[in-house]
Structure 1
């Protein structure tokens, strides 16, 4: 019971290196930024709730030739170290996991570009950035923070939406996050992948990821990976859907970790007035870049 009381405590959000982070990550940010990856390590970066788990499962299957048995030997969170993760969720900290795993490793992060350990760029590690349109992202992140009882309290939907639009929330403003990786993608050889493109044609995007990883898999293997990573199959996969997390941490009576996986679900949550205000702020924040996001298919 004492263990549950420990993990049930909602984290506070604080400023660290100019970015809002949960206090447990902020307190360890110097060690996180000092991490030295192996040149063979693969970094998967994203703003939260942008299709991260989907991408991780695809990449793990690609690296194991589509062998589902190998990829289902352990939960995703044990196969892929979460770089900045502390032990707050009762799991092993990301830096500790990385010390125990031999390269090559798939490494997950939600850190903005400016906080990524410089060793990833110095060692020319391959990096995949997966992103999603802002409206669906804010809805999904809000739902996740409600059900994740260790996360900073998101408060009301209206208040959360206002913070997201104007100030940014955990991991900094969404606008800065997506622009940071976009602007560095060519210089750093970052593969920039859109959630909406994956929903539109998963086979095409899996093939694109395969080529970026310098792999050559048969069409049969690619088709198998596509089938294994459809939303319905991911949601039914206990090694990828986070149902292994205790209900004292993820309260699935509020929302499931994998909710709908749709493009355009924001329409069920935004009022017309909120949508109009969001569009106006978005246009101002993103006017200097032309990142081809789509809010519907």
Structure 2
């Protein structure tokens, strides 16, 4: 039985007449969209070729209509669970290293990376001023084709990260399972979630279309979009940290490299360091949304190839075949 259409209240609509009008418009749009049951058992809506839960779709439609970037903004873009937290930490540490002096410590030691680099949809859909304008870093899971036109037409830069689809799926399933467990809600079995993922059904999915959108854009606008893979970053993190700095317009000086600044950033942003910080073990992030998320569920393993501990060889081969077919002719070959 299909559930009734949710009312848009999550992001704080209801204050101004404009917000109330937005909520009515969004509900009207949603009533016309195809929907299916998603990974968390809630309804996913097909909008502009991608699937979203009501919460994500509300934020997306809001920023599409209202968001205006700064010309200097840099967006960390990704499909969920493909290295977002690590990339946020690295870009934030690189970009803010000039602000640290003497005994000043990085905000990464006291705040979750998702609180250091605000999400376009959660944090800014409700309050566009909910950011530090001195730090031109924002993040998004929005597919390239659905980004606000104000971003596409601007000179803003985008850093995109993706990873092997099998590891991305396992990480995504664990995230949803842990999130549901934290709310005492039953989660979807891995096998059922895998079927959905292989059919393209996930928040911001299909995964392959999400990746292809940014890949093709990076070929068309290489000066604006940097395309990365999690596996390549893990293989040579130092080279990628320097590449990130150069792309963001804050290259490391020879003196900084000689003083070990690159390695300091790598160490501070490592899985071992971040996952053991008090803020990431026992606190919650995204406090300005209705359901703050435990920081600890963003730190599971951070390993490459962990899918082998959860998927059968047949499941792995099936997802590899799907990705190969979907990426065929694009020139992109993701690590397997």
TM-score range, shorter chain: 0.7 to 0.9
Considering only aligned residues, what root-mean-square deviation do their CA atoms show, in Å? Answer: 2.7
The one of 152, 160, 165 equivalent to 1:121 is 152
1:157 correspondence with 2:190: yes
TM (norm. structure 2) is 0.75
Instruction: Decide whether aligned partners of structure 1 residues 210 and 114 sit closer, same or farther in structure 2, where only a CA change above 3 A counts.
Output: same
Residue aligned with 1:192, SS: strand
Aligned twin of 1:244 = 283
Q: Does the CA contact (< 8 Å) of 2:74 and 2:248 recur in 1? A: no
Aligned twin of 1:276 = 317
CA deviation map 1:134-172 (0-9, x unaligned) = 01000000100111137x976221121111112331102
Unaligned residue ranges in structure 2 (runs of 5+): 1-9, 11-39, 286-290
Q: How many Å separate the matches in 2 of 1:98 and 1:75?
A: 20
Larger Rg: 2
1:234 correspondence with 2:250: no
The structural deviation recorded for 1:213 is 1.1
**What is the aligned residue count?**
277
Q: Which has the higher contact order (CA 8 A, sep 6+)?
A: 1
1:43 correspondence with 2:75: yes
Q: Which moved more, 1:22-31 or 1:193-202?
A: 22-31
Aligned twin of 1:178 = 211
The structural deviation recorded for 1:26 is 1.7
Equivalent residue runs for 1:1-297 within 5 Å: 12-34=43-65, 35-65=67-97, 67=100, 69-71=105-107, 72-85=109-122, 93-101=123-131, 102-149=133-180, 155-188=188-221, 189-217=224-252, 218-219=256-257, 220-239=260-279, 241=280, 243-245=282-284, 256-295=297-336
Residue aligned with 1:124, SS: coil
CA deviation map 1:205-252 (0-9, x unaligned) = 10110111121321121111011122211212344x374228x96579
Aligned twin of 1:88 = none
TM (norm. structure 1) is 0.84
Instruction: Decide whether aligned partners of structure 1 residues 292 and 245 sit closer, same or farther in structure 2, where only a CA change above 3 A counts.
Output: same
